Structure 1
Amino acid sequence: MSSQIVLTSPPDVFPAANYEHVSIAGDFAYVAGQVARDEAGQWVGIGDAGAQAAQVYRNIGRILAHIGATPQDVVKIMVFFTDRADSAAISAERKKFFGDHRPPHSGIMIGGLGSPEVKVEVEVIVYLPKGK
């Protein structure tokens, strides 16, 4: 690992088995896809994409705070979801989390995610200038 890349995870987000939740390289941070697990690792919102998205954004908020960032520092959002019918509920949670901040966003409908419980997964890219 390069000393210019920092890999880290906050203590209040359930740890991933094989990777850290965020990689900081230069002035940017790349947040791994977040799913609806609470800090104890329990699934949140089984069958409810809106409730899952709310938990996903709680996790992202915790990760951002861990690296000294806020939702307004996010420069790109990638949302992966499994059912077109869930799009409005997922979008509503994104808008609640970001408020008036509207960075570029990609919504990608796919056949399935890492576990059958997962209806939505979100990645973000964050601008984190060294002086911040």
Structure 2
Amino acid sequence: MSHQIIHPEGWLPAKGYANGVLTKDGVLHIGGQIGWTAEKVFEARDFIGQARQALANIRAVVEAAGGTVEDVTRLTWFVTDKRAYVASQAEMGAAYREVFGRHFPAMSMLVVAGLIEDEALVEIEATAHLSDAKC
């Protein structure tokens, strides 16, 4: 097989998508992660809380594939409220560092009209490069 589906242990099933796909050359494509838990529950209703959870979800997918956050090379953010992000950049930086430390991959941020899950305020997709891929 040329790729492996990555699904962190204990997470509810992904229906109609994969949380991660690891290719035989070590590229890990992480599908858009939103601010819900492994049980698909939104514990946070604010932008910072949801962004922190989405980043933690990315970390969980990378770790399930055998990597670390330092393997993440790209993050693409989709946010529903530019003002919420701009107004809380200091808090966002602190939340980011809680999850990713001082590792800053290439990033893009897009403002979107909405996300599929109505409660979601942010969705983040990622790419990581793992040197010891096991496909």
Normalising by structure 2, what TM-score?
0.86
The aligned counterpart of 2:125 is 123
The RMSD of aligned alpha carbons is: 1.8
Task: Name the CA distance, whole Å, in 2 between partners of 1:56 and 1:16.
Answer: 15
Task: Name the CA distance, whole Å, in 2 between partners of 1:91 and 1:28.
Answer: 26
The aligned counterpart of 1:44 is 43
The aligned counterpart of 2:52 is 54
- Work out the percentage of aligned pairs sharing the same amino acid: 26
- Inter-CA distance 101–124: structure 2 relative to 1 (3 Å threshold): same
Instruction: Give the paired residue count.
Output: 129
Which runs of structure 2 are paired with 1:3-22 in the superposition (5 Å)? 3-22=1-20
Assess if the C-alpha contact under 8 Å between 1:12 and 1:39 holds in 2: yes
The aligned counterpart of 1:28 is 27
For structure 1, list consecutive stretches of 5 or more residues without a partner in the other structure. none
The one-letter amino acid of 1:125's match is T
State which drifts further: 19-28 or 94-103.
94-103
Assess if the C-alpha contact under 8 Å between 1:14 and 1:38 holds in 2: no
The aligned counterpart of 1:98 is 100
Assess if the C-alpha contact under 8 Å between 2:26 and 2:133 holds in 1: no
The aligned counterpart of 1:73 is 71
The aligned counterpart of 1:83 is 81
Task: Name the CA distance, whole Å, in 2 between partners of 1:70 and 1:40.
Answer: 22
Task: Name the CA distance, whole Å, in 1 between partners of 2:133 and 2:13.
Answer: 28
Task: Name the CA distance, whole Å, in 2 between partners of 1:96 and 1:14.
Answer: 24
Please give the per-residue CA displacement for 1:72-102, whole angstroms capped at 9, x wherever unaligned: 1000010100001222254543343222211
For structure 2, list consecutive stretches of 5 or more residues without a partner in the other structure. none
Task: Name the CA distance, whole Å, in 1 between partners of 2:3 and 2:9.
Answer: 19
